[in-house]
Structure 1
Amino acid sequence: MKIQLRFFASIREALGTSQETLELPQAVDTVGALRSHLRERGEAWTAALAPGRALRMACNQQMADEATPLSEGCEVAFFPPVTGG
């Protein structure tokens, strides 16, 4: 399955990219599995997408959690929580 990835704010800065198209292995079928899969890319990815890190995720511009299923052509975004002040 091919998906679109988007990274925003400090996540984008840590990873050095704002977007990419990715072909996923068949076993990567949820947002949580995708997050885990991306952490395998190396140290920057592991730190930016760490399990305990405050991070928001969206799938097709709807807030998502780890169990949200992925589908062909979907857009998944990772971004830090927004705070005001």
Structure 2
Amino acid sequence: MTRVTLLYFASLRDAAGTASETIETSAQDLSMLYAEVRLRHSIAWPIEQLRVAVNGEFARWSDPLPDSGEIAFIPPVSGG
């Protein structure tokens, strides 16, 4: 199991009901982690519409999970 801190922004924060949480997961990569979190929090955003960052740097969904660290799920933003 890997322990990571998840950060949620904008509508993802609303869906998760929190800005961050620390979890233990057996996910092998970032896409598997998001699938797990999406199911847990009933998040509507498909993975194709999000960005992911690990320890403050953009990452690919196929990247393996870090041994520990901070993972941010970032939805598209609109300006006005």
- TM-score of the two chains, using structure 1 as the length reference: 0.78
SS in 1 for 2:73: strand
Q: How many residues align?
A: 79
- Say whether residues 1:55 and 2:50 are aligned partners: yes
* Structure with greater strand share of residues: 2
- Say whether residues 1:37 and 2:36 are aligned partners: yes
Structure 1 residue 39, shift from structure 2 partner: 2.4
Moved over 2 A (4+): 81-85
- TM-score of the two chains, using structure 2 as the length reference: 0.82
Identical positions, percent: 38
Structure 1: tracts of 5 or more residues without a match: none
For residues 13-71 of structure 1, the C-alpha deviation after alignment (integer angstroms, 9 at most, x for no partner) is 1221110000012xx121111011212315x23x14x234x211111111112111112
